[in-house]
Amino acid sequence: MPSGFLSLPLQLDLVPQRGTLQLCQIRQSIAHHIHLILTTSLGELASNEAFGCGLWDADFDNLSSRSRLKDGLVKALEDAIKSHEPRLEQVRADLQLHQEEIAAAGMHRRIKNRLDITVAGIMKGTNEPVVYKDHFFISPLSYN
């Protein structure tokens, strides 16, 4: 049963017709919010320049060692979620970094860095565990 949390993406074109936006459960709302945090560059949101994640800072980093890059990204993920997702506590992030060959239509194959991200935490108030999993390709950043 949906609660008072808005589902993403917002479908504002439906508001004049139905008068409401699609709602979702708290777990889905947290997942949407974490995804939004992770895919927003620091400084991108004009009303809150601290919103976002340092994931974008490493997007073209080809000089750092893999372990240094991974440690920096884990810290950036944890800091961003702790700062911007108040419904979670005891946030822990895990990151697996590996290279993957990508073939796009009409283009040559490319090697990109794939980040497999797992974020775990405890929902405040209910003490229920929450786990969010996603993956991104960096250099440059992309997701599906």
* Per-residue pLDDT reduced to its tens digit, 3-19: 678 777 777 777 777 67
> DSSP secondary-structure letter at 86?
T
DSSP label of 7:
P
Distance CA 137, CA 46 (A): 25
Residue 36 · residue 6 · CB < 8 Å = no
Dihedral sign, Cα of residue 80, residue 143, residue 58, residue 64: positive
Task: Give the per-residue pLDDT at 119.
Answer: 95
3-state SS string for 100-134 = EEECCCCCCCEEEEEEEEEEEEEECCCCCEEEEEE
Per-residue pLDDT of the chain (144 residues; tens, 9 = 90+): 446 787 777 777 777 776 777 788 899 999 999 999 988 888 888 888 889 887 766 655 554 566 777 788 888 889 999 999 999 999 999 988 887 777 766 667 777 778 899 999 999 989 999 999 999 877 655 555
Q: What one-character-per-residue DSSP string does 8-22 give?
A: SS--GGGHHHHS---
Domain boundaries 5-138, corresponding CATH code: 3.10.450.40
The pTM assigned to this predicted structure is: 0.77
Q: Name which of 93, 83, 81, 144 is nearest 118 in CA terms.
A: 93
Number of Cβ within 10 Å of residue 6's Cβ equals 14
Domain residue limits, the chain = 5-138
